[in-house]
Amino acid sequence: MQNTPFSTNKTLNINGRLIDLSVPRVMGILNVTPDSFYDGGWFVAERALLEQAEKMLEEGADFLDVGGYSSRPGAAEISEEEEKSRTIKGISAISKNFPGTIISADTFRSGVAEAAVEAGASMINDIAGGNLDINMLTTVARLQVPYIFMHMKGSPQTMTRQTGYTNLLKEILDYFHEKLQVLRELGVKDVVIDPGFGFSKTIEQNFRIARNLEKFSILGKPVLVGLSRKSMIWKTLGISPDGALNGTTALNMVALLKGADILRVHDVKEARELIKLFTSLQVEGSI
């Protein structure tokens, strides 16, 4: 695989605001769904959503990621209209009550992405990298918003049956390389990659990606890591998602040491503390 022509930037241009990623950032997860694997149903009501948004912002979240479609393994399919209704309601409420908040819309549907940006979102976070909606990449290019795209095979309904790889790391890197070429040709300037922990990967494969996370730097783009309370942690430890915060923090430190730029988390305070310790480790040079 040849190197990518993309620049090795550590910034995101969000509505004219240049966000520096030389120090890692925190993205708070806000699922407005009844069935997400950890926080399903918690923030469906607007008051609960706004209380959690305020808490995350006070604790230091740089971005809030609002999603109306549960992507946990085997999650029920919902219509685009249902997803759009949930997502737009959440984004509109946050935009109104917390002006200036950088909101990411977690969706793989171009129609939801477009409506989300109209409602106040300024980033798109797509678990499918355009593979589940042929209009997504051109829509993002037209909207000119930063695009986070993840590696996944299949869909949330089928991904657990699609964990076969001949060469795991090479296949994921090739996937990103090819998508980045398309995005560059479409004129998408701000792109973040997400290796997709837990999506079409076994527990062992997830740990292999974590051990080799630094290899994704060859792509020259910021890396988002979403490890928060995932099954690779709680199944390995023999606990539940409720008890997986300590394991999340441990693996997030590994991710930072291996070059992660954004941590996508349910627990903002702990992630912010982790980043402070991580940056303190680097004060005198190399870690």
Phi, psi of 176 (to 5 degrees): -65, -45
B/e letters for 166-190, b = 16+ CB within 10 Å, e = fewer, are eebbeebbebbbebbeebeeeebbb
Instruction: List the catalytic residues.
Output: 230, 264
Residue whose entry in the numeric block shows the structure tokens 């550590």 = 10
